[in-house]
C-alpha cells in the first residue's frame, strides 16, 4: 500500500513559477521619462510607467492563473500526470515567449525614440526621452522559465518511465 501523499517536486516548482509569473504580470514593465522641456508640452507627462496589465500582462496573468488552477486541481484529485505536465510546459513556453518578445519590443521602442530625438535637431538632447526597463518583465520571464522547466522535467520523467518497462514493474 502506497501511503506517500507528497506532491512531486516538479509540481511545487511549477506552482512557484505560476505565482512568480502572476506577480510579474502586474508589476511595472517599463518607464518612459521625458526631459523637462518636453514635459512642458501639452499632453506629455514627465514620466509614464507601463505595467503588465497595460498590455500583454493580462494574457500572461490568465495563463499563470490557469496553470496554477490545473496544478491545484490535479494535486487535489490525485497525483499529477503527463497531461498536467504538458499544460505546465505549454504555459511556461507561452509566458516566456511573451516576456522575451515584449522585452525585445521595449528595447526597439527605446532605440526608435532615441533615434527620433537625435533626428529632431541639436536643440534636443540625446537623453530627452529615456525608456527604462522595470523588473516586471524579468520576474515574468523567471516565472515562465520555472513553469517550462518543471513541466519539461516532468514530461521527460514520464517519458523515461514509460520507455523503461523494468521501472514500470519495479524490477
39-74 pLDDT tens trace: 566 666 677 888 888 889 999 999 999 999 999 999
**pLDDT (tens digit, 9 = 90+) per residue, 114-125?**
777 677 666 666
Provide the pLDDT for residue 38.
64
Question: What does pTM read for this prediction?
Answer: 0.81
Residues 6+ apart with CB under 8 A from 41: none
- What cell does 164 get? 523503461
Partners of 11 in beta bridges? none
Question: Sorting pLDDT into bands at 50, 70 and 90, what band is 3?
Answer: very low
Interatomic CA distance for residues 118 and 128, integer angstroms: 9
Model confidence at 108: pLDDT above 90: no
Interatomic CA distance for residues 73 and 15, integer angstroms: 12
Query: What does the mean pLDDT of the chain come to?
Result: 83
Amino acid at each position: 500500500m502506497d501511503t506517500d501523499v507528497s506532491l512531486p517536486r516538479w509540481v511545487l516548482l511549477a506552482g512557484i513559477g505560476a505565482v512568480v509569473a502572476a506577480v510579474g504580470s502586474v508589476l511595472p514593465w517599463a518607464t518612459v521619462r521625458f526631459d523637462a522641456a518636453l514635459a512642458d508640452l501639452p499632453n506629455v507627462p514627465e514620466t509614464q510607467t507601463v505595467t503588465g496589465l497595460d498590455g500583454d500582462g493580462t494574457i500572461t496573468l490568465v495563463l499563470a492563473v490557469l496553470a496554477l488552477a490545473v496544478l491545484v486541481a490535479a494535486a487535489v484529485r490525485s497525483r499529477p500526470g503527463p497531461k498536467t505536465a504538458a499544460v505546465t510546459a505549454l504555459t511556461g513556453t507561452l509566458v516566456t515567449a511573451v516576456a522575451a518578445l515584449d522585452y525585445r519590443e521595449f528595447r526597439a521602442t527605446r532605440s526608435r525614440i532615441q533615434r527620433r530625438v537625435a533626428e529632431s535637431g541639436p536643440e534636443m538632447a540625446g537623453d530627452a526621452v529615456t525608456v527604462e526597463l522595470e523588473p516586471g518583465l524579468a520576474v515574468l520571464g523567471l516565472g515562465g522559465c520555472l513553469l517550462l522547466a518543471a513541466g519539461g522535467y516532468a514530461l521527460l520523467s514520464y517519458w523515461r518511465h514509460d520507455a523503461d518497462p523494468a521501472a514500470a514493474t519495479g524490477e
